[in-house]
Structure 1
Amino acid sequence: MKAVNVSTNTWASALKKMAVAAVGVATMLGLAAPAVAAPPSGSDSVRVVGGIPAAQGEFPWMVRLSMGCGGTLYTRQIVLTAAHCVPQTGPNSRITATMGVVDLEDPSAVRIQSTYVYQSPTYGTSTGGDWALIELASPAPEELGTLPIATTTAYNNGAFDVIGWGAAKEGGPQQRELLKAKVDFVNDDTCKAAGGFYAGLIPSAEICAGNIPAGSTDTCQGDSGGPMFRRDNNNAWIQVGITSWGEGCGRDGKPGVYTEVNTFAAAIAAARI
């Protein structure tokens, strides 16, 4: 979440992508504990339109983290996720990374414990930086591969793919099956014009995507840390964003906001973990 002078209730409502209440996450991970605002009246009718089940093996580098976030295999032993999903930098063996399946109850799932967490040192500052790295106790199976990240703004356009095990509607339950959907690039001026938190968008650190003005297609609670990605010039997947925040899920005129990966690519590559 960007550094803004707001109440803790408002702050928590903007970081809407986490799977569990912020108080619960705070207790588990040692974070500050803002209260979470309740979903607005009638929010149960707000659905992530276009979300369909992903096929087994379609996105092999996708990871589910035990605190209720998503992530991707940056390397076979390092998961890239959102800074707001993790505690401060340091040793951490309490996170379980589940991978290799679309069904979280599939007995063939690979599960590896964390050993260390690196949280972006600029997270929460005026320059943004909602990204983090999680070191695993052992490498992921080679066949799962990795997801490269963008190092330029060349792919900050067009349609993106988003995936996750998060809620299929605002305030809804987490999903057992991995879902995928398409979202469209939203330019900075249009995103800022959505008002509220969006007026404070950090253009160099954040990128918006969704369906403007109708809403409907979006990431939701539990999708934090997961990738926003597209095909590169060689038709290979490349990660452009990290699911970060937004007002609600799929609300009219309220796009999702993602960490702009290319801005932090050098810092991610240089992180000592």
Structure 2
Amino acid sequence: MRRWLTLLAAFLTAATMGVLAAPGAAHADANVVGGTRAAQGEFPFMVRLSMGCGGALYSPNLVLTAAHCVGRTGANSSITATLGVVDLNSSSRITRKSNYVYRAPGYTGSGKDWALIRLSSPVNGVATLPITTTTAYDSGTFTIAGWGAATEGGSQQRYLLKATVPFVSDATCNSRSMYNGEIIATDEICAGYTSGGVDTCQGDSGGPMFRRNASDAWVQVGIVSWGDGCARPNKPGVYTQVSYFASSIAAAATSLGG
């Protein structure tokens, strides 16, 4: 089952925990499968969104997330962003309400899975996560992180988990043993192990996949988008390929004042 098709169940589960679930999560319930707990301050740019998705702080007043996590482009004050902590219940957490959502033009549920959420006021003093503008970093080993489910069908998590996953080529990901041609090569990038066991999951949707660049700084290369189940063999995670949309994301960010 597609991870984002089990969104309603994830929302209800998260609601009972007092944590808003992940609308439109692209992996079966909400958390990094096979991960370990992140250290406080390790990934300061990580954002938890109240609809149950993840995101990354693109600029002090913008969060980059997935299009399937949000509704249409326009004014929106219903989303709460939580950041600055590993523990979502921490008293030192930072929160901001949204005031506008920009969803990728032409998004219809396949490809183009990115969106920007503008915050009501900037978050100063917290590191942002730059996006890659080149394909140079679209291979190798990536880091994933989120508050999604730690097992397929599991519950949303209180603590941020992290893991590493290897790049999977478009040809391999589109092979009959994996996604059999479902991957949009220009728009999407795959990452995961043939044997499964490590993956993002529903509730991690919209969160970043990132790696170190030539200057040893974090750079975002993917956005958690979808997958069949969580951490299944031959079913790697599918991520929005940020390098392909970098100029469109930057232009939208500029238009939003970010």
Q: TM-score range by the shorter chain?
A: 0.7 to 0.9
Q: Which residue of the partner structure matches residue 250 of structure 1?
A: 231
Cα RMSD, aligned residues only = 2.4
Are 1:238 and 2:219 counterparts? yes
Alpha-carbon deviation of 1:155? 0.4
Q: How does 1:25-174 map to 2 (within 5 A)?
A: 48-49=33-34, 51-124=35-108, 128-142=111-125, 144-174=126-156
Structure 1 segments, 4+ long, off by >6 Å, are none
CA contact (8 A) 2:172 2:178 kept: no
The 3-state SS of whatever aligns with 1:105 is coil
Match of residue 218, structure 1, among 181, 199, 211: 199
Q: Which residue of the partner structure matches residue 20 of structure 2?
A: none
Identity %: 58
Are 1:181 and 2:169 counterparts? no
What is the TM-score normalised by the length of structure 2?
A: 0.87
Deviations 1:36-60 (A, max 9, x none): 9xx7xxx9xxx922x0000000000
The 3-state SS of whatever aligns with 2:4 is coil
The 3-state SS of whatever aligns with 1:16 is helix
Cα distance in 2 for residues equivalent to 1:77 and 1:228: 20
Alpha-carbon deviation of 1:16? 3.3
Cα distance in 1 for residues equivalent to 2:10 and 2:82: 22
What is the TM-score normalised by the length of structure 1?
A: 0.82
Q: Which residue of the partner structure matches residue 17 of structure 2?
A: none
Number of residue equivalences: 240
Deviations 1:115-172 (A, max 9, x none): 000000132277x210000000000132x11100011110011100000000000000
The 3-state SS of whatever aligns with 2:209 is strand
Q: Which residue of the partner structure matches residue 4 of structure 1?
A: none
Cα distance in 2 for residues equivalent to 1:17 and 1:242: 17
Are 1:201 and 2:183 counterparts? yes
Q: Which residue of the partner structure matches residue 269 of structure 1?
A: 250
Cα distance in 2 for residues equivalent to 1:194 and 1:167: 27
Task: State the AA in 1 paired with 2:122.
Answer: P
Cα distance in 2 for residues equivalent to 1:151 and 1:253: 29
